[in-house]
Chain A
């Protein structure tokens, strides 16, 4: 996708070009809002505010190739503002240990149902910081590390190692789960 061309066309009022940008980045913005644990209404609000701010800036975007980073940063600000207004600022990030927690006992509930449902439930049990990073990385289409770094205010170089540790933790939670075990 030629993002600078789409931005230029959208700035001229081309709805199709704008919709292409929305399709490309709305998944990332929604994932960022969910990574900050916003509920349905607040997440929708944060995403809409981000797009409205882009509309306001369309004529003044000097580096359209950095649009994804701009959107990620703006979405983070919107999420933090909503959390601040609601009086629930995010907790300070906990350290992410290298050694995973011991695998939990087999959860029989997980033995039924679809693999994705089981995986989703296991994912929701991750510690906050891991859940937050992975939720952004799970956006469709997959975001670049640079955008993930801006969305979560993390150094870009830390994302690869933390991703590895968090996926390791998740794999440990999956271990012993019959439904998922065959695939890991």
Chain B
């Protein structure tokens, strides 16, 4: 049997014993709906995570109008915002949680692990959303 045929056999084995789970297919399909067409993007400009272990991750985002600094510690997300007020919406691919911004700060708890992004409204009313980042 040549190598190509042998690899085809292996591919059949992988398809049977380690296929892409249905949930992973659904999440991938659903990702398109996470586009934020309406909002100004605040880009990730700084990211710092402990090399090892479960310590907090700190992230900094900037757009023309807004800056967002985040500290993600397990399931708690703390933010420091300039240029926006009202509420901050902490989004994950499957959840949204709105919390008030007080004196430029907000805290959201019980945020599921994985990717997060923050939506805020700039002082002039422009919606701003941060890039996705890993908590």
- Chain B binds chain A: yes
Partner of A19, one of B7, B29, B53, B134: B29
Q: CA of A163 to CA of B52 in the docked complex: distance in angstroms?
A: 33
Q: CA of A56 to CA of B32 in the docked complex: distance in angstroms?
A: 9
Q: CA of A178 to CA of B53 in the docked complex: distance in angstroms?
A: 46
Partner of B32, one of A15, A115, A116, A135: A15
Q: Determine if B11 and A167 form an interchain contact, defined as CB atoms under 8 angstroms apart.
A: no
The main secondary structure of chain B at its interface with chain A is: helix
Q: List 5 tightest A-B contacts by C-beta distance, closest first.
A: A87-B52, A116-B13, A51-B31, A138-B14, A30-B20
How does the 8 Å CB contact mask read for A124-155 relative to B, with 1 for contact and 0 for none? 00000000001101111010000000000000
Q: CA of A55 to CA of B34 in the docked complex: distance in angstroms?
A: 7
Q: Determine if A52 and B34 form an interchain contact, defined as CB atoms under 8 angstroms apart.
A: yes
A52-B31, A53-B132, A56-B131 known; A171+B6 contact, CB < 8 A: yes
Nearest chain-A residue to B57 (Cβ)?
A: A85
Q: Determine if B29 and A48 form an interchain contact, defined as CB atoms under 8 angstroms apart.
A: no
Partner of A51, one of B23, B28, B53: B28
Q: Determine if B93 and A184 form an interchain contact, defined as CB atoms under 8 angstroms apart.
A: no
- Chain A residues with CB below 8 A from B35, complex form: 13, 55, 58
Q: Determine if A48 and B3 form an interchain contact, defined as CB atoms under 8 angstroms apart.
A: no
Residues of A in contact with B (beta carbons under 8 Å apart): 10, 13, 15, 18-19, 22, 26-27, 30-31, 34, 40, 43-45, 47-49, 51-56, 58, 81, 84-85, 87, 115-117, 119-120, 123, 134-135, 137-140, 142, 163-164, 167, 170-171, 183-184
Partner of B10, one of A34, A49, A119: A119
Residue tally, chain B, CB below 8 Å to A: 37
The main secondary structure of chain A at its interface with chain B is: helix
Q: Determine if B132 and A52 form an interchain contact, defined as CB atoms under 8 angstroms apart.
A: yes
Partner of A13, one of B25, B32, B114, B131: B32
Q: Determine if A26 and B13 form an interchain contact, defined as CB atoms under 8 angstroms apart.
A: no
Does B46 belong to the interface (CB within 8 Å)?
no
What distance in Å separates the Cβ of A173 from its nearest Cβ neighbour in chain B?
Answer: 12
Q: CA of A36 to CA of B88 in the docked complex: distance in angstroms?
A: 36
A13-B35, A19-B29 known; A44+B14 contact, CB < 8 A: no
Q: Determine if B15 and A140 form an interchain contact, defined as CB atoms under 8 angstroms apart.
A: yes
What distance in Å separates the Cβ of B134 from its nearest Cβ neighbour in chain A?
Answer: 7
